[in-house]
Structure 1
Amino acid sequence: MDKIPHLAAVAALMASGTSVLAAGKLACADKSLLKNVAEANVAEVESCKLAVGKSANTGIRKFAQLMADDHSNGLTDDAKHKAVMVEFKTLSDGLFDNRYVKQAGAGDHEVTERLLKKTPLRQRVGTPQGLSWASLRRSPEPSSCWPSTAWSENEHDHTERSGRMEHSQVSANGVVLHVVTAGHEGAPLVILLHGFPETWQAWQRYVEPLLAIGWRVAIPDQRGYGKSGKPTSVRAYVLDVLADDVCALATALGAEKFALIGHDWGGIVAWHIAARNPGRVERLAILNAPHPASLLGFALTHPFQLARSAYVGFFQLPLVPEALLSANGFALLRASLTRTSKSDAFDAKLLGDYQDAWSEPRAIMSMLNWYRAMAMARPLSTPVEAPTLIVWGNLDAALEPGLADEALKYCARGSLCRVEDGTHWLHHEQPVRISAQLCDFLMHEMQSTKESQ
């Protein structure tokens, strides 16, 4: 029996705890096609080659990598992340010259301590003062957030850092958005946009690195998610409306121009804003998010991608997706994260926080309405003028690597960095590497802008 009843098969498979992607593939109802998809996916993975572009600032990249490789013994991932980004910051600030970098890289942490005590720190809007590797190693246990105070040249002068994360409710485009902000109000603004089924916490480990290179950071729970407003109408989730939310948020924060970083659905919204509002977006970074103008055409001409995207069709059904995604303590949503990522990408606390967000009234319905409004979207094929970085995990279970190449065609000044061993959730799996890439990109573009002025 080659054909399987569409809804019954999908519902049964999803209810049994199988991943959303597997259920979507089965919804294609063609067993031979599914077999070909599985075989092709293996071939794709084997053929994908790492194509990381040269760093705009190779010194920073090499030093951050050196710290990550040579000095991580005995440190937890959080402490390692802190230490690498602290040293990344001090180098980018020009605190060390080459001989000091070599000494610190060779393991002489006393040099770092000496420099931090004797060298005047360069003050810059949005940039916290330096911390030392040794001070991090002395910490009894790493916290999930970076320290909220910094040391000045006077060790007794403890000032509150502007980088403290603040939670607020911001009215924007007719909806109230829960937004996390950090950094000086006068610094250039970067807005980070999460995807399905996450919240602002998808980006929480990226706040400090961005502050360290001089940016003000804003991370909203997008409409329908977390503690943000959840309109009931499907039309309230049309792509233009979602883009208006972000532009209105930037305006509310006093920024006419801003940079965007987006993953998954957050990336799709970011693509649309960059094409529709070129005068407002200064820089654009995309993580595993197809360009909205390319997705449908690519899926129709690539049956493997069409099969991978079949779950989108299932989400169009009324009520049934809500019931299945909410069943057994949101087991299917949790599985959609943990079964398509590397082990330990999502810890128990983060999954628990996400479950709390999914439990908010109307949350699941609102999250699904993003998919239900896709048919009303009017994607733009206008070239994106802002400098653009696409970072793509080649082991994405839902999106083929070819979508990254298609997206690049819409960029007037774009670059593509493939992460061969990264999945769809690469920003959780490799936060040190991805934050270094993003910071490198933003620093280079910021310097280019200053030089052109």
Structure 2
Amino acid sequence: MEVRAGRVLVHCAAHGAGRPVLVLHGAGVDHREAEACFEPLLRDVPGLLRVYPDLPGSGRTAAPPTLGSADDVLATLLAFADAVAGAGPCLLVGHSAGAYFAAAMAARRPDRVAGLALVCPLLPGVRDVPEHRVVAGPGGLGDDGFAGYFVVQTPEMLDRYERFVAPAAALVDEAAMERIGARWELSGDDPPYPGPTLVVAGRLDSTVGYAAAVDLLGSAPHASLAVLDDTGHALPHEQPELLGALLAEWLRRVERAG
């Protein structure tokens, strides 16, 4: 389905009914990766409308030439959330660059967000990023994209990469990504989101590391933090059972918070 969000017509997949939960994918992919990873963890939770948009310049969501910065993407996502959630609060889940935008959305409009979950978040202050290394699998599988993304390099993970990650590459608007990437830092200095928050990072994440995610624990007043060993930036693929348990606990906190 498509939703008008300001200047952008956002393509998305949606499942279920109830309180909207917007799940934002990372850079270089589209909604199919987020859907493949998070839908099995959320589909049995009653009362949730799970929405997986293609971010501007990814998948089937075009990025018009007037969209030229991270601030423009954020404005689009806020308009998209308004269109999908209406007057009620929504839940936000983000992976990688999607977490960067989800955190900013929650900080800008805390009264419109019931809970925030950040997985392998791209955050300001990225540092101490470890070198990539493989912890499981025979090695020598797949292309360079797979080899540099997964630390669990088994045939099962390669199958997931080839079905849910690699197909998005041909749909990425490289010119738009370059344009937005040149102005990637969001403006403003909003305080962290004060509501129920989950932060999950991979100890072996060679893309964004985990140190900046750990920093959030000191500033977000209702954040739970998990740093998973033997896991990289592809954490939602590599640790689905543990991620599912953490999301379930987060949803219980959201319900308690009302």
Note whether the superposition's TM-score is higher than 0.5.
yes
Bigger relative CO (Cα 8 Å, ≥ 6 apart)? 2
Q: TM-score w.r.t. structure 1 length? A: 0.49
Residue 365 in 1 paired to residue 175 in 2? yes
> Take 2:200 and 2:188, find their aligned partners in 1: how far apart are those partners?
21
**Preserved contact between residue 194 and residue 262 of structure 1 (Cα < 8 Å):** yes
Equivalent positions of 1:37-436 (< 5 A) are 168-184=1-17, 187-205=18-36, 206-214=38-46, 215-233=48-66, 236-256=67-87, 257-292=89-124, 295=125, 299=127, 304-305=128-129, 335-341=144-150, 342-344=152-154, 346-348=157-159, 350-351=161-162, 354-360=165-171, 363-375=173-185, 377-436=186-245
- Partner Cα separation in structure 2 for residue 231 and residue 211 of structure 1: 33
Q: Residue type of the partner of 1:230?
A: A
Q: Is the 8 A contact 1:390 1:417 kept in 2?
A: yes
Q: Superposition RMSD on alpha carbons, in Å? A: 2.5
Q: Distance between the aligned counterparts of 1:404 and 1:278, measured in 2?
A: 19
Q: Secondary structure at the match of 2:209?
A: coil
Distance 1:263 1:374 in 2: 17
Q: Which runs of 4+ in 1 moved over 6 A?
A: none
Give % identity. 24
Q: TM-score, normalised by structure 2?
A: 0.83
Q: 1:350 to 1:396 in 2, by over 3 A?
A: closer
Whole-angstrom distance in 1 between the partners of 2:175 and 2:199: 30
Which residue of structure 2 aligns with residue 87 of structure 1? none
Q: Tell me if structure 2 keeps the 8 A contact 1:200–1:220.
A: yes
Q: What displacement does 1:348 show?
A: 4.2
Shift of 1:381: 4.3
The 1:213–1:355 alpha-carbon spacing in structure 2 relative to 1, beyond 3 Å, is closer
Assess if the C-alpha contact under 8 Å between 1:238 and 1:373 holds in 2: yes
Equivalent in the alignment of 2:134: none
Q: Structure 1: which 5+ runs fail to align?
A: 1-167, 309-333
Which letter maps to 2:90? F
Q: CA deviation at 1:242?
A: 1.8
Greater strand share, structure number: 2
Give secondary structure in 2 for the equivalent of 1:433: helix
Gaps of 5+ in 2: 132-142
Q: Check whether the contact 1:191–1:260 (CA below 8 A) recurs between aligned residues.
A: yes
User: Residues of 2 paired with 1:353 and 1:391: CA distance?
Assistant: 21
Whole-Å separation in 2 of the counterparts to 1:216 and 1:203: 15
